[in-house]
Structure 1
Amino acid sequence: MIKKNIPNFITAANLVSGCIGIYFALQSNFVFAAYFVALAAVFDFLDGMMARLLKVHSEIGKQLDSLADMVTFGVLPSFIVFQYLQNNEAGWLSFLAFFMAVCSAFRLAKFNIDTRQGDQFLGLPTPANALFICFLVFLREYSELAFIFTNEGLLVITFLFSVLLVVELPMIALKFKSLKWEENVFRYLIIVFSLIIIGVFQFSGVPIVILLYIFMSAIQYFSIRRN
């Protein structure tokens, strides 16, 4: 019984991390909110890995995972943007941030029933979206990127990334069926460049890595279509 629920306990840790992240977001402590979304992403990876290792897949685990992801990777980034806008005295425009939560819900619901998303994702995965939004805080030290944190910049980002969540653009899934270069060239490139970016820019590099992931996924998609 305990063995069967180990992945669920890890999923619950993902959910708790998301709840704590929301608390810090509402306190305008965006750095700690980013830390907790990163911790939640680790738990989100581990619960699936443990389920595969222990061979304890269950329907309740699948549903619990989606519910936890909705809070952590859907509601939390929406509250991050909401609080940014509130701090900028955006008024009622602040509530447009929750468009991202709605799109995240559609993204997660569709993933649960879409059999096409085994080897690839259709739309930006919610963890990638949340990591991008939450780690924007580390770009505030760069004055040349100040436009990102204006009301206009935040609303444009909210709209674009919300659309990316639900549009059926094939996105690379970092799942290796083999280690052959020709079958995984884009996966290897993403991993190598991501390590370099994080090594150079540390936490500030996380949004850049997500943009790289989107860019490489688009290149792979259009290269396949051309062939």
Structure 2
Amino acid sequence: MSHHTPSPPPPPPRHLSMIRGFHLADFVTLGNAACGTAGVFLAMLYMGSGELADFLWAAAMAPLAFAFDWLDGRVARWRQQLSALGRELDSLADVISFGVAPAALAFAAGLRGGWDVVVLIYFVCCGVSRLARYNVTAESLSAGAAKVPYFEGTPIPTSVVLTAVLAAIAWQQGGLTAPLPGGAWSLAGWTLHPLVLMFALSGTLMISKTLRIPKI
């Protein structure tokens, strides 16, 4: 009767194995997430310091994140490394840079009334929902092609326009002091700044199913 030598146990998984599996485009995507996080921190810094420069730096993180967001897709196609992981990573980074960061910037800018906060939360939730829908439908919409032919609803990076508007107001006024453009309304005991309605419009356009925008 022969005796089989037991096979040695498999080697333990290497540390940081997930990072080793990242493609170059994935690291570019992390640059997007880093810019969004920096934007949130700078918005908080502005609330403490009141320095216009802190606010403008916070706003500047949006176009920088947009550049990383544009670049990661180009890098992925150049290296032919499109992946489901990359798509998920891209969406998670976009939530921070083009959802949470613009909302934090708006809050820092003075849109802090009760209704303002409701609108900003709605805006972020619309962005999250839009990205989730895109990830679920991207495969069927692409029909086997390398990328989808169109967006359903406006892409979340369009919120960079909102941060540009806030930055322009801050720059023109030399700071963000009350009253903000459009003033403030009192509704049912809560404050609403009409300026925040651009976030309501942006969020609503993101989740539209009838609005189709060709992807260039």
* TM-score, normalised relative to structure 1: 0.66
Does structure 1 residue 128 correspond to structure 2 residue 137?
no
Does structure 1 residue 10 correspond to structure 2 residue 28?
yes
Aligned-residue sequence identity (percent) comes to: 27
- Please name the residue that 1:43 is paired with: 68
Deviation at 1:121, TM superposition (A): 1.1
Cα distance in 2 for partners of 1:57, 1:4 equals 11
Contact 2:116 2:193 in 1 (8 A): no
Q: Which has the higher contact order (CA 8 A, sep 6+)?
A: 2
- Please name the residue that 1:171 is paired with: 213
- Please name the residue that 1:161 is paired with: 202
SS in structure 2 of the partner of residue 132 of structure 1:
helix
Encode CA deviations 1:55-101: one digit per residue, 9 max, x unaligned.
11222111111111111111111112222235xxx443342212111
Instruction: Name the CA shift for 1:52/1:148 in 2 (closer, same or farther; >3 Å).
Output: farther
Matched positions, count: 168
Cα distance in 2 for partners of 1:126, 1:91 equals 24
1:95 equivalent among 117, 131, 134: 117
Deviation at 1:148, TM superposition (A): 5.0
- Please name the residue that 2:109 is paired with: 84
The RMSD of aligned alpha carbons is 2.4
The amino acid of 1:172's aligned partner reads P
Higher deviation after alignment, 39-48 or 1-10: 1-10
Cα distance in 1 for partners of 2:80, 2:214 equals 25
Q: Gapped runs of 5+ residues in structure 1?
A: 176-227
Instruction: Name the CA shift for 1:68/1:149 in 2 (closer, same or farther; >3 Å).
Output: farther
* TM-score, normalised relative to structure 2: 0.70
Instruction: Name the CA shift for 1:43/1:66 in 2 (closer, same or farther; >3 Å).
Output: same
Contact 1:85 1:93 in 2 (8 A): no
Cα distance in 1 for partners of 2:21, 2:182 equals 46
Cα distance in 1 for partners of 2:116, 2:22 equals 42
- Please name the residue that 2:145 is paired with: none
Instruction: Name the CA shift for 1:127/1:149 in 2 (closer, same or farther; >3 Å).
Output: farther
- Please name the residue that 2:149 is paired with: 119
SS in structure 2 of the partner of residue 27 of structure 1:
helix
Cα distance in 2 for partners of 1:126, 1:132 equals 10
Instruction: Name the CA shift for 1:93/1:84 in 2 (closer, same or farther; >3 Å).
Output: farther
Contact 2:59 2:105 in 1 (8 A): no
The amino acid of 1:133's aligned partner reads L
- Please name the residue that 1:22 is paired with: 40
The amino acid of 1:161's aligned partner reads S
- Bigger proportion of residues as helix: 1
Deviation at 1:149, TM superposition (A): 6.9
Cα distance in 2 for partners of 1:80, 1:36 equals 11
Encode CA deviations 1:191-212: one digit per residue, 9 max, x unaligned.
xxxxxxxxxxxxxxxxxxxxxx
